[in-house]
Amino acid sequence: MATSLIGRQLGKYQITNLIGQGGMATVYRGYQLEVERYVAIKVLPPHPGQSDSFAERFQQEARTVARLQHPHIVPLYDYGDEDGILYLVMAYIEGGSLNDRIQQGPLPHDDINAMLRQVADALDYAHRQGIIHRDIKPDNILLDGEGHALITDFGIAKLAESNTRMTATGGVVGTPAYLSPEQGQGLPVSPASDIYSLGIVVYEMLTGEQPYQADTMMQVLLQHINGPVPSLRAAHSDFTPALDEALQRALSKRPEDRYPSARAFADTIRTALGQQPAVESASGSRETGPSITATGEIPILAPTQTGEHMVAVQPTESPRWNPLLLLGIFAVVVLVVVTIAVILLTLNPPTTTVEVASPTPVPPVVLDIPTPSAQMVGALRFGSIDADGDTANLQVSGLDQPGAGQMYVAWLYNSGTAAWQPLDRLPVDAFGDGILVYTDPDGAELPTVYNAVAISLEPADAAIGATPAGEIAYSGSIPLAVTEALDAVLRAAPDGLENTDGAPTSLLASAIIEAEFAQLHAGLAADASTLAGMRPHAEHTINILRGTQDDLDGNGRGENPGRGVGVEFFLDRIDAHLNTALSDADADPAVQQQIELIGVCITNSRRRVDEIMELERAVLAAANMDGLQPVMVAATDAAEALVEGEDLNQNGQIEAFEGECGLRQIATFGVSVGNINLVAGPLPNFE
């Protein structure tokens, strides 16, 4: 940046020193006085005349990234726009990057397996939320003090795409050495793009060098686009064919030929490495670089010249790139991208806006359920913008091109009611890749209503109707029992509490209502100055949690100022619905895994209910006020954690870990239970 911000206050953060500067942002260390912690502040480059639309995109992207809650993703704490300065606030992490490790030579296989699995799980989690990183590379994989790998810079590359000032390539965003072929051509990205970049990273972890090397950035880009897929055995003959084949699939030129998920790639590499002897480094050592200890920790590397390597550092490009040469190269890249765009527009001219026709009575169309063995061509992931589950992110790869005069249209479907919901036209590029994001205008909780997704071929010149008129080309579903369970847990249940209009609320909302009453009375008990003032509220807290009206303080009458049902009752009902969904024979492992995450939150909530009641009983049993102050503090803390969860590991996010997530996180994980994978063809008949 032209002007240093050191010493300046940005929002709640005092800028203390510069960490690093790159093409996409400048990174400062800041201090947040109110919580006494250091943070990393990434400041986007200034651009005179910055449009309101870019600032809005910045805020929207920051909000989306901030929702990423995963132990292997660097958390985004905050963001802001102050005097035209756009900035992101991230966790401040001391340690090294994966690039620092690689500089010491090839990594031991155990280290590769551990870090790859962590990064793969984080990527798959982000992809399920509809978020693609776009710039996976060793410098964007940080290692914390305990050796855990964390991905940083989610959202930065996407912001760069919408602001050509942030990248000299005029639209090609990313680091050339790790760029997927589709990114190099300026085509739409997908989760497969991140898997390709991760494949390059793994190649480098195995060999200590990048697969594509050239004198200019343009030559590297062209090798990614047109060059042969790198062969491990060609460069290092001691690698096994299984490992070579595993890596080559990740580095396929066509996105649809790569792995369906980052975890599938990691699992294949793990299996292949189990057949692979240790690889010697250039120095002859068979264990180069610090390895993970028996406890799973990676020793912290020696400090860099600045004495620290922080989370959000955007390293500068290699000094071998000549700036004058780059100007010419970037001009060529722009020309290539524009030419490709013109060709694609010629082959697939944009259609006019399609208006959704008013629903008309038509016979219901019955769909089918996909067979588990079918090859996945895409996924529908639910997210939240204005309400839980009100957004559907559909991403597809390798679809056939629609025929002449045809277009793809995406739909949601409920197999129980045969109800359809048109999403919109699904445009695909020359490779059959496409992305569609739909947010329900009424804030409907989509995964509680629909258990299937379909893509149909419709006349390109016709308005979208209420149900598909053409052939169902691609589809996917989850068991209806799962959707019905989500409906009861997240939207409305007959045994839920009534709202002000007399309509039933969801089981989760009911549990939170009762828990908030208990939290209120636990606080009132803590605020009382006498034991006589504490006891009634201690009784109230216990009765609210249990749904009882017992006389616990001995005043001759039992009182329950809550709704009289209890948190325990609603936790039991949530458990029952989820167990029904889990027992469905068609519930696949992905659905089961997400339900298990909710189970962690339910278990945490039950333990907190028991803890609160035990503490309140200690108040009721006390003869005097001696020693009660810490008991009441513990009770109010537990009551707050029951509702909001607790960030025990202090990583800025509340996760599905023992002792962390609470009632509110059930909605976060519940939305993802409804995610659906797509396969080719219509679904077999629903039973």
Q: pLDDT of 68-80, one tens digit each?
A: 888 899 888 888 8
Residue 424 is part of a domain; what is its CATH number? 2.60.40
CATH number, position 116: 1.10.510.10
Residue 330 lies in a domain: no
State the number of CA atoms in the 13 A half-sphere of 12 facing the CB.
14
In this structure, the answer to whether residues 545 and 668 fall within a common structural domain is yes
Distance (Å, rounded) from C-alpha 395 to C-alpha 381? Answer: 8
pLDDT digits (tens, 9 = 90+) for 660-669: 999 999 998 9
The reply to whether 303 falls in a domain is no
Inter-CA distances, 54 with 154, 161, 521, Å: 17, 11, 46
Q: Is 135 a catalytic residue?
A: yes
Catalytic residue chosen out of the listed positions 100, 135, 139, 433: 135
Whether 604 and 564 share a structural domain: yes
115 and 85 part of one domain: no
Same domain as 126, residue 38:
no
| Strands across the sheet containing 452-459 | 419-425, 406-414, 452-459, 472-477, 676-680, 376-383, 391-396, 434-439
Which of 424, 453, 477 lies at the terminal end of a domain, its last residue? 477
Question: What number of CA atoms fall less than 13 Å from residue 401's CA on the CB side?
Answer: 9
Q: What is d(CA 316, CA 196) in angstroms, rounded to the nearest whole number? A: 22
Q: Same structural domain for residues 390 and 509? A: no
Taking the C-alpha atoms of residue 355 and residue 462, their distance in angstroms, rounded to an integer, is 9
pLDDT band at residue 375, thresholds of 50, 70 and 90?
confident
- Mean pLDDT of the residues in the chain: 81
563's torsion region: left (phi>0), alpha (psi -120 to 50) or beta? alpha
For Cα atoms 93, 97, 101, give the angle at the middle one, nearest 5 degrees. Answer: 140
Decide: 499 and 512 in contact? Cβ < 8 Å.
no
CA distance 613 to 127: 40
pLDDT at 354 over 60: no
- Quick check: is 292 in a domain? no
**Same-domain status, 546 and 466:** no
Give a yes or no: residue 321 inside a domain.
no
Q: How confident is the model at residue 173 (pLDDT cuts 50, 70, 90)?
A: low
Query: Who has greater pLDDT, 585 or 676?
Result: 676
Domain hosting 578: range is 490-675
> How does pLDDT run across 569-625, given as a tens digit for each residue?
999 999 999 999 988 888 887 788 789 889 999 999 999 999 999 999 999 999 999
180, 200, 393 from 155: Cα distances, Å? 17, 20, 16
Residues 551, 632, single domain; the answer is yes
Give me the amino acid identity at 92.
Y
Report which of residues 197 and 339 the model is more confident about: 197
> Which of residues 450, 477, 504 is at a domain's end?
477
Is 682 inside a domain boundary? Answer: no
183 pLDDT band, cuts 50/70/90, is: confident
Last-in-domain residue among 273, 301, 325:
273
Q: Are residues 641 and 522 part of one domain?
A: yes
Does 363 reside within a domain? Answer: no
Examine the domain organization and report whether 512 and 628 are in the same domain: yes
Q: Indicate whether 84 and 114 sit together in one domain.
A: no
Contact 45, 35 (CB under 8 A): no
- Buried/exposed 95-113: b ≥16 CB within 10 Å, e otherwise: bbbbbbbbeebbbbbebbb
pTM beyond 0.75 = no
The answer to whether position 281 is within a domain reads no
> Mean pLDDT across the stretch 209-234?
84
Same domain flag for 152 and 233: yes
Distance, CA of 495 to CA of 477 (rounded, Å):
27
In degrees rounded to 5, what are phi and psi of residue 64?
A: -65, -45
Q: What CATH number is given to the structural domain containing 54?
A: 3.30.200.20
Contact 313, 132 (CB under 8 A): no
What total of structural domains would you count in the chain? 4
Is 350 among the domain residues?
no
The helix (run of H) or strand (run of E) holding residue 199 is helix 191-207
**Angle formed by the axes of helices 531-546 and 628-644, nearest 10°:** 30
Residue 470's CB is within 10 A of a number of other CB atoms, namely: 16
User: Which helix (H) or strand (E) is 395 found in, with range?
Assistant: strand 391-396
**One domain, residues 468 and 605:** no
pLDDT digits (tens, 9 = 90+) for 251-307: 999 999 999 999 999 999 999 998 765 544 433 333 433 344 333 333 333 333 333
Question: Distance (Å, rounded) from C-alpha 365 to C-alpha 458?
Answer: 15
Beta bridge partners of 676: 380
Integer Cα distance of 479 and 686 in angstroms: 10
Q: How confident is the model at residue 684 (pLDDT cuts 50, 70, 90)?
A: low
